[in-house]
Amino acid sequence: MTRPARLAISGASGRMGTALLGLVRGDERFELVRAIVSSGSPRIGKAAFGDVSALRFTDWTDAGDIDVVIDFSGPEGLGAALDYCEASGASLVTGTTGLEPALEDRLTKAAERIAVLRAANFSLGVAVLTRLLREAAAALPGWDLDIIEAHHGRKEDAPSGTALALGQAAAAGRGATLEELAVYSREGRPGARKNGTIGFAVVRGGDIVGEHQALLMGQGERIELGHRATDRSIFARGALEAANWIAGRAPGSWSIEDVITSKM
């Protein structure tokens, strides 16, 4: 776009929302025109975004002309953001997870009318790792493959969404689905490894932001592909890259890998 993209942030009082507010403040690619918080959430004050008197922090009423919405809220907040985008034609970037099938179906159908970009992880480095792993798994179909991930001790789900996405990419590279190939636990005497399976291992502890490693193991050699996050702001930076890329784009279902591919 020749002018700054008019941006709205849904879920502005959350961890990702506040990170986005801090970064977009000095980003000339965007004009922030709306910050949405759910009822009961704390309002964003001047400490988060300087003078916010021109912004609205409640809902989508009279939101006006917005080019792209970044959503890191929750299922309810995402539903409201999707309502606005479908009505206005704005593009949608979302990292909200844990969605019910009905909302998943809405997003799929919405992509027929607006541009929708979804990702479990907005790190540009993880996007490159995913691409590399898909290609490596396809090139070495007979090699064993395990994915190891580590996160802070407060994380509740395992394996992480990113680890699962990596497994899905590897399985796709081998012409299969992760459901067919995944092995999530090994204990006792599970017997010899079954050829073609993708194993997962999980580490939880301390303040680890996020680490993912894929091991491709052949006879007498091994390839290690990995990514280590040391600062949570990388996810907000990736979301802004995605928003800049998708603003004004044609309807469709897009991914963070599409953003990476366009830079090659």
Annotated catalytic residues are 151, 155
Question: Which two three-digit tokens encode residue 198?
Answer: 């993708």
Displacement of CA 194 from its chain's centroid (Å): 31
Rounded Cα distance between 210 and 148, Å, is: 11
3-state secondary structure of 118: strand
Displacement of CA 64 from its chain's centroid (Å): 27
Of 162, 264, 170, nearest to 215 (Cα)? 170
The owner of tokens 């709205």 is 8
DSSP conformation letters of 121-136: ---HHHHHHHHHHHHH
3-state secondary structure of 218: coil
Of 197, 200, 196, nearest to 185 (Cα)? 200
The overall longest dimension of the chain from CA atoms, in Å, is 64
Dihedral sign, CA of 246, 249, 254, 259? negative
How crowded is residue 131: how many other Cβ atoms within 10 Å of its Cβ?
16
